Amino acid sequence: MTVDNDRSIVGAPLPRVEGPAKVTGAAKYSADNELPGMLHAAIVGAPVARGRLVQIDTTALAAVEGVVRVLTREDMPTFGAVHAFQAAALDLPMQSDEIHFEGEPVAIVLGTSLQAVEQARPLVRVRCAAQPPILPGHGEREVIAGEEGERDGGSVGEEGGMTWMVWPYGGPVRIGDAAASLETSHTRVGGTWTHPSRHHNPMETSSTIAHWDGDVLTMWDSVQASFVVPPVLADALGIDPGNVTVVSPHTGGGFGAKGWVWPHQVLTAAAARIVGRPVKLHLTRADQYTSTGFQPALTQHLELGADSSGRLTATRHHVSNITGLTETYVEGATEVKDLYACPALDTGQDVERISVGAPTPMRTTNEGCGLWALESAMNELAHELNIDPLELRLRNYADREPTTERPWSSKRLREAYADGARLFGWYDRPRDGRTDGPWRIGTGMATCTMGQVRFPGNARVRLARDGSVRIETDIQDIGTGLQTVLTQIAADELDVPVGDVSVAWGHSDLPSTGPVYASSATVHTGSAVALACRELRKNLSEYSDTPSVTDAIAETDLAEIVGEGKFGLEGNAPIDVGGGDSGYAIRSFGAVFVEVAVDPELGLLRLRRMVGSYSCGRIMNERTARAQMIGSLTWAWGKATMERSELDPATARWLSKNLTGVHVPANADIPADIIVHFVDEVDPHASAIGARGVGEVGATGVDAAIADAVFDAVGVRIRDLPITPKRLLTAIGET
């Protein structure tokens, strides 16, 4: 494929085409829809984390005006088995009396108003025969096996009657003899790094409206991928997936929580079918904590060995994460194994089954977790060897993907290192410590990386006789500016003004395309739009050889001309991670440099400035890409210093299921001094437009850079996230 990077429309910092609809309130989200005769729904969750359901008493609801019905498992159909890739939770609720986690749906209250069902919900008395919950540290551990060296795509299997999903982790990798190499290494560092569970907390909690017309089902759904909904509902409810229509133009955040189909979506459709009326279920913030997954707590054991010059001799990285009793999710933190050149490698993962619901991917899945350990260890190794942390990374630079020897599709990480160091003043930073009143100042850095996840993409482009262009594709707007980028691509390919291009999106009647997660949407759907434009030009050339498409169509008697674009993966794969069968290793890269201030008396930690420099392929819109990176850096500061979801150590209930007890960054936490830089790059192998993923790579590596800056400021190593005042004071007190 060829990519021309000499055009001015692509890359320009154009404002978002969907912006006016949002700021005026015209943009309709799932819960904004109202249907005649519609009932509202509220889920009644199990009050215990493990046990059996004994009785549901609804007699108190008779006094609540507007309650129409309460559905229990006796009302539910027997759901069919669903496909693993589309469904986040394979063990659907309300099918037996067994309870696997607190909040698991056991009943659904239906009423004529939201107020009625919310008033009625706490009046439903659920009696259970409770069993002691299985808590972290006491669960059954299961080693995740796989074909050694396998690294692309997800895998699904069944063992002992339990279905499990591994996405996109490919299995353990062993190269050379890491144990022996560690023993003979000149310098060896290692330890255990922990990462707490975290919940996604998007601005818009998940909402679903289901409406049946005979056997035809229409869903207004808050999702990150329309295409995943019909197959799951079809399997669960025994209907033709072609009879499921999904309407989802605007999604108010997701971060992975809305990427798959959750039980509440199946239950809403089932409820609407049972009562013969449309049903709307809008999860509360507390519902979100038990209904749409979470990033699981991880424990990472990592060791590095190096020779006297700082070149790595061995890496050993083993990771464990919690998962549910019936669902297996693997947070593939060892996927950072190909970041540095290393002759001996030993990676492995296991899961611990406890009394929680299904975990799920969360922004910066896999590498975001794995770099916390790897980049922290690299910084510790640099300190032990008395080598600058950036120089250590350059000495271990991987010119090819080290586990397979595949060439990189494109990699300009050296330039990103150099530009970031220059913009930050890395080599000019003080080395003997600084103070600013009571604050001690420290600096740190880390490498960033994210494996490119690719999906097939589809789009249709129509050129009308009046010169207007319409893009059609079933993609969602999740706040990233994707619709603007698609407009720029079409305007660029067809050489027409941006104002003449419009986008139709968010309806399953449009060409089905990939999801808006895993930093993949610009790659798959942007490529599909470009390919559709190229086909349109080819089709138009059969009628006119005039270069201008608007002049060419005016010379014909055509009302419009259409191009269909399909971005496919090698071997017709439904997904690939890191390059698949392309023959190339495909990743985005970067480097982050931070300066922090620490008050050792109060344990306070403040961000002073940050520079992120990235190699991400062709940048399609400088404004939206920079906004994505600032959001990622802010997200990463919250992960590193504030965020955690606490599981009650006695009951296995999530504590503080709202934002009153979960700290997230506010404006005062993030200084204006954040610099985002992209190296000039076009990746001809990752996509038809030269782009790679941008959105998530900015949130990787930041926690390790912050921890090293803390060490630089006050001389203590923190290996447990988040870096809270209590942890800081404890660590400082122990030195």
Digit-coded pLDDT (tens) for 671-727: 999 999 999 999 999 999 999 999 899 999 999 999 999 999 999 999 999 999 999
pLDDT at 4: 43
| Opening angle at CA 546, ends 544 and 552, nearest 5 | 60
Written as six digits, the tokens of 114 are: 């939201």
pLDDT at 260: 93
Q: State the pLDDT confidence band at 1, using cuts at 50, 70 and 90.
A: very low
Q: State the pLDDT confidence band at 165, using cuts at 50, 70 and 90.
A: very low
Written as six digits, the tokens of 71 are: 């559905």
Q: State the pLDDT confidence band at 735, using cuts at 50, 70 and 90.
A: confident
pLDDT at 433: 84
> In this predicted model, what pLDDT tens digit does every residue of 108-144 receive, in sequence order?
999 999 999 999 999 999 999 999 999 999 999 999 8
What pTM was computed for the model? 0.95
pLDDT at 167: 52
* DSSP-assigned states of every residue in 265-311: HHHHHHHHHHHTS-EEEE--HHHHHHHS--BPPEEEEEEEEE-TTS-
d(CA 172, CA 334): 8
Of 612, 578, 298, nearest in space to 446 by CA: 612
For the segment 321-342, the average pLDDT, to the nearest whole number, is 96
pLDDT at 84: 65
Q: Tell me the CATH number of domain 19-27+456-568, given options 3.30.365.10, 3.40.50.720, 1.20.210.10, 3.10.129.10.
A: 3.30.365.10
Q: State the pLDDT confidence band at 154, using cuts at 50, 70 and 90.
A: very low
d(CA 104, CA 262): 12
Tokens 């309806």 belong to 507
SS3 annotation, 624-651? HHHHHHHHHHHHHHHHHHCCCCCECCCC
Please check the confidence at residue 521 and state whether its pLDDT lies above 90. Answer: yes
Please check the confidence at residue 33 and state whether its pLDDT lies above 90. Answer: yes
Q: DSSP alpha helices (H): ranges in 466-580?
A: 482-494, 521, 527-541, 549-554
Please check the confidence at residue 75 and state whether its pLDDT lies above 70. Answer: yes
> In this predicted model, what pLDDT tens digit does every residue of 340-364 receive, in sequence order?
999 999 999 999 999 999 999 999 9
Residues counted in the chain: 735
Domain edges within the chain: 19-27+456-568, 33-132+203-253+258-291, 361-453+579-734
CATH of domain 33-132+203-253+258-291: 3.90.1170.50
Q: Residue 162: exposed, middle, or buried by beta-carbon count in 10 A (0-12, 13-18, 19+)?
A: middle
CB 366 within 8 A of CB 331: yes
Sheet containing strand 501-504, strands side by side: 501-504, 469-472, 457-464, 560-567
Cβ count within 10 A of residue 567? 25
CB 257 within 8 A of CB 289: no
Please check the confidence at residue 3 and state whether its pLDDT lies above 50. Answer: no
Q: DSSP alpha helices (H): ranges in 45-138?
A: 114-120
d(CA 478, CA 249): 9
Q: DSSP alpha helices (H): ranges in 48-157?
A: 114-120
Query: Which residues partner with 238 through β-bridges?
Result: none
pLDDT at 146: 57
> In this predicted model, what pLDDT tens digit does every residue of 238-265 receive, in sequence order?
999 999 999 999 999 999 999 999 999 9
> In this predicted model, what pLDDT tens digit does every residue of 441-478 receive, in sequence order?
999 999 999 999 999 999 999 999 999 999 999 999 99
* DSSP-assigned states of every residue in 667-700: GGGS-S-EEEEE-----TTT-TTSB---TTGGGS
pLDDT at 2: 39
> In this predicted model, what pLDDT tens digit does every residue of 586-636 receive, in sequence order?
999 999 999 999 999 999 999 999 999 999 999 999 999 999 999 999 999
Sorted by sequence, the CB contacts under 8 Å of residue 63 that are 6+ apart come out as none
Cβ count within 10 A of residue 650? 10
Q: Check for a shared fold between 19-27+456-568 and 33-132+203-253+258-291.
A: no
For the segment 165-190, the average pLDDT, to the nearest whole number, is 87
CB 505 within 8 A of CB 473: yes
CATH architecture of 361-453+579-734: 2-Layer Sandwich (3.30)
Sorted by sequence, the CB contacts under 8 Å of residue 282 that are 6+ apart come out as 30, 31, 40, 114, 205, 206, 207, 208
Beta strand 587-599 pairing with 439-451: antiparallel
CB 53 within 8 A of CB 663: no
